[in-house]
């Protein structure tokens, strides 16, 4: 099942676009398409952003090789064409096709989108339209593919729900084999029958089989349409990472990508309990890979792919209980191969810095840390767990170990934030220079400040979000005060803040309901593309689209939500309970900390916090008796 005429039509276009390597395919490690066979389910994995971002995402690699490993499934990939190629494809009538098979998207059985971030939503419509698939599920016929969504966006999917036939909520290694089995056994069945069968799988959400109501005051209510529909939809997880699927080969990109390295996942989950962090809440419980598994798989992948760097990945890699033996064994084995080992996420403590100092690739550049807030009070509110003493000792260690550049990440617009908290950001930057001077270093400090978005399934999901004017005022305040304090006399501190319009749009789609699909369609028709890229983003265009759809975007962002209000994601059970989130929200407003619940954290007060995943958490039983 190959359509060479479409591939022949695509190749001449590539001489007239930026970065044609994005579309070349033929990567080392790719697997040829399978021959058609009885019950074979063909998936096209669609990433709604450019190639170099999609290829940097480990989950996309896992999905590809997982599907290739299943006897009844095959996989291809598609990435969103940049605007230059999109225009040429429309002019030439060339459809978007799989990068390997050259099969148009509308000829696959399933087109599965990775929903990694909200500002890629308009690109979903671009890919569907170029792939000749009707945009709304209600308009698709029996011969159209099923359109599936997965990833973080599937935990709050309502703004794009009318475009999707189903969502996979949770970890694909657990879910996809069941989805493939159902679709394979029902090949040739009516579309409605296949969707009904999928809806019975725990972790699969079929929006057309769940009714949504908008309640007075702005709340949401959901109810299943008929028996057999799994409701509410509970996130599926892999209980053992050692036993879960992990590819023994990776796709090596045909051009430069954002993260060009062997990615090795150390563990999933986080119990640090940062109240702003959606990933830390929804990936619980913590599940680690054994040291031997990490080392053996990493060395095998380095040997097979030829990459010259290894990234040890997790939400907080330094929290991995086997981090020292992994670093020791990998460094010993890879030293003569000139392969570097890096830790993309560092805690703000001396342990992390000393660990980084042992790795050549980490010693070359600057170090990046995320205090998130400028004062101890506000860090207590968000449960960051970084003290002023941690900050001082971390930088003292870093500068004494040879570094002279640091990048510090902060947020603005956090709940209870005041002018003093913003001033604290600049005070920490100035303190960094002072600590560097004591260490005999001429230090440079880069400050990056992002607007805060109260994400679903976090303790702050009920809180309002700062608007465009407020965020811009805060950013300008920081810029102005930095200039007033240092002016041209000191260029060793730089500050950038994220565009407030993009932050607010992210909040609208992170916290919105099904009505927003009409605004997404209107904006896309007006030319919205790659809204996460500053060079293509247009906020006035989006405001026009909201107006055409009769939607007030501030309804989703600047409104405090009642504790008992029905939220647009209440039908998705991410694991953590509402009772736990409300307790953490109340503690935040009281500026109280919640210590890490894992024994390995070595923190006084470690106890089970009854977050909702106790039945799946290996540490919960050990800690439950200590829970106050």
pLDDT at 597: 83
pLDDT at 445: 95
pLDDT at 114: 97
Among 330, 245, 322, 333, smallest CA distance to 291 is for 322
pTM, two decimals, is: 0.94
**15 pLDDT band (50/70/90 cuts)?**
confident
pLDDT cut 70: percent of the chain above it:
94
pLDDT at 625: 45
Distance CA 237, CA 244 (A): 10
pLDDT at 367: 87
Torsion, CA 131, CA 132, CA 135, CA 138, rounded to 10 = -130
**Residue after which a domain boundary falls, among 234, 265, 286:** 234
Rounded average pLDDT over 167-176: 96
**Residue 490 counted as domain residue:** no
Rounded average pLDDT over 576-582: 97
**Residue 449 counted as domain residue:** no
First-to-last alpha carbon distance for the chain, in angstroms, is: 62
Report the length, in residues, of the chain: 628
**Residue 517 counted as domain residue:** no
**Residue after which a domain boundary falls, among 187, 208, 234:** 234
CATH code, domain with 139: 3.40.50.280
- pLDDT for 98 beyond 60: yes
Q: How does strand 73-79 pair with strand 110-114? A: unpaired
- Express each pLDDT in 232-273 by its tens digit: 999 999 999 999 999 999 999 988 899 999 999 999 999 899
Query: What would the 3-class secondary structure string for 388-427 be?
Result: HHHHHHHHHHHHHCCCCEEEEEEEECCCCCCHHHHHHHHH
pLDDT at 356: 80
Q: Is 400 exposed, middle or buried (0-12, 13-18, 19+ CB in 10 A)?
A: middle
**Residue 581 counted as domain residue:** no
- pLDDT for 626 beyond 50: no
H-assigned helices in 23-116: 51-54, 58-69, 83-92
**Residue 474 counted as domain residue:** no
**Residue after which a domain boundary falls, among 201, 234, 267:** 234
Among 325, 333, 392, smallest CA distance to 355 is for 325
- pLDDT for 5 beyond 90: no
Q: Which domain holds residue 229?
A: 4-234
Q: Which residue has the higher pLDDT, 352 or 322?
A: 322
**366 pLDDT band (50/70/90 cuts)?**
confident
pLDDT at 1: 44
Q: Is the dihedral of CA 403, 404, 409, 412 positive or negative?
A: positive
**φ, ψ for residue 620, nearest 5 deg:** -60, -40
**Residue 296 counted as domain residue:** no
Distance CA 407, CA 310 (A): 22
Distance CA 554, CA 157 (A): 19
**Residue 255 counted as domain residue:** no
Distance CA 366, CA 525 (A): 43
- pLDDT for 602 beyond 60: no
- Express each pLDDT in 422-475 by its tens digit: 999 999 999 999 999 999 989 999 999 999 999 999 999 999 999 999 999 999
Rounded average pLDDT over 71-80: 97
pLDDT at 353: 83
For the chain, give the mean pLDDT: 92
pLDDT at 48: 98
pLDDT at 624: 47
What is the domain count for the chain? Answer: 2
CB 569 within 8 A of CB 155: yes
**Residue 175 counted as domain residue:** yes
- Express each pLDDT in 262-277 by its tens digit: 999 999 999 899 999 9
């Amino acid at each position: 099942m190959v359509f060479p005429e479409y591939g022949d039509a695509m190749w001449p276009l590539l001489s007239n676009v930026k970065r044609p390597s994005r579309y070349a395919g033929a990567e080392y490690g790719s697997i040829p398409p399978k021959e058609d066979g009885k019950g074979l389910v063909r998936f096209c994995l669609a990433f709604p952003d450019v190639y170099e971002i999609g290829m940097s995402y480990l989950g996309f690699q896992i999905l590809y090789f997982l599907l290739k490993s299943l006897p009844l499934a095959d996989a291809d990939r598609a990435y969103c064409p940049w605007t230059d190629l999109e225009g040429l494809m429309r002019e030439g009538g060339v459809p978007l096709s799989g990068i390997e098979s050259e099969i148009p998207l509308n000829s696959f059985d399933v087109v599965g989108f990775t929903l990694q971030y909200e500002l890629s939503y308009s690109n979903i419509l671009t890919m569907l339209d170029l792939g000749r698939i009707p945009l709304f599920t209600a308009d698709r016929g029996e011969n159209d593919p099923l359109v599936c969504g997965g990833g973080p966006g599937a935990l709050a999917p309502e703004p794009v729900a009318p475009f999707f036939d189903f969502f996979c909520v949770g970890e694909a290694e657990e879910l996809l084999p069941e989805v493939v089995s159902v679709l394979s056994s029902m090949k040739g069945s009516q579309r409605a029958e296949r969707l009904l069968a999928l809806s019975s799988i725990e972790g699969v959400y079929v929006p057309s089989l769940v009714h949504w109501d908008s309640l007075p005051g702005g709340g949401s209510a959901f109810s299943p349409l008929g028996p057999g529909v799994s409701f509410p939809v509970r996130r599926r997880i892999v209980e053992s990472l050692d036993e879960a699927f992990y590819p023994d080969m990776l796709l090596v990109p045909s051009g430069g990508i954002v993260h060009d390295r062997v990615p090795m996942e150390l563990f999933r989950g986080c119990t640090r309990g940062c109240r702003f962090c959606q990933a830390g809440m929804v990936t619980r419980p913590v599940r680690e890979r054994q040291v031997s598994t990490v080392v053996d798989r990493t060395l095998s992948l380095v040997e097979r792919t030829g990459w010259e760097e290894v990234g040890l990945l997790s939400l907080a890699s330094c929290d991995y209980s086997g981090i020292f033996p992994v670093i020791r064994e990998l460094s010993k084995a890879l030293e003569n191969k000139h392969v570097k080992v890096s830790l993309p996420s560092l805690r703000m403590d001396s342990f992390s810095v000393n660990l980084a100092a042992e790795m050549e690739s980490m010693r070359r550049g600057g170090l990046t840390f995320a205090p998130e807030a400028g004062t101890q009070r506000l860090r207590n509110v968000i449960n960051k767990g970084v003290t002023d003493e941690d900050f001082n000792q971390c930088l003292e260690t870093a500068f004494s170990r040879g570094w002279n550049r640091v990048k510090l990440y902060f947020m603005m617009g956090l709940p209870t934030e005041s002018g003093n908290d913003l001033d604290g950001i600049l005070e920490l930057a100035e303190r960094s220079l002072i600590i560097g001077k004591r260490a005999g270093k001429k230090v440079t400090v880069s400050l990056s400040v992002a607007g805060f978005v109260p994400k679903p399934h976090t303790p702050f999901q009920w809180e309002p979000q700062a608007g465009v004017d407020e965020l811009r005022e805060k950013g300008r305040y920081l810029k102005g005060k930095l200039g007033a304090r240092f002016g041209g006399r000191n260029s060793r501190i730089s500050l950038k803040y994220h565009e407030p319009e993009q932050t607010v749009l992210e909040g609208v789609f992170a916290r919105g309901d099904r009505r927003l699909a009409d605004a997404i369609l209107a904006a896309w028709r007006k030319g919205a593309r790659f809204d996460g890229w500053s060079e293509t983003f247009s906020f006035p265009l989006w405001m026009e689209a909201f107006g055409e759809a009769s939607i007030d975007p501030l309804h989703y962002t600047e409104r405090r939500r009642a504790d008992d209000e029905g939220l647009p994601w209440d039908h998705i059970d991410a694991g953590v309970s509402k009772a736990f989130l409300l307790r953490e929200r109340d503690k935040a407003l009281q500026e109280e900390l919640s210590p890490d619940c894992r024994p390995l954290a070595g923190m006084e007060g470690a106890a089970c916090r009854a977050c909702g995943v106790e039945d799946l958490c290996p540490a919960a039983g050990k800690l439950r008796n200590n829970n106050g």
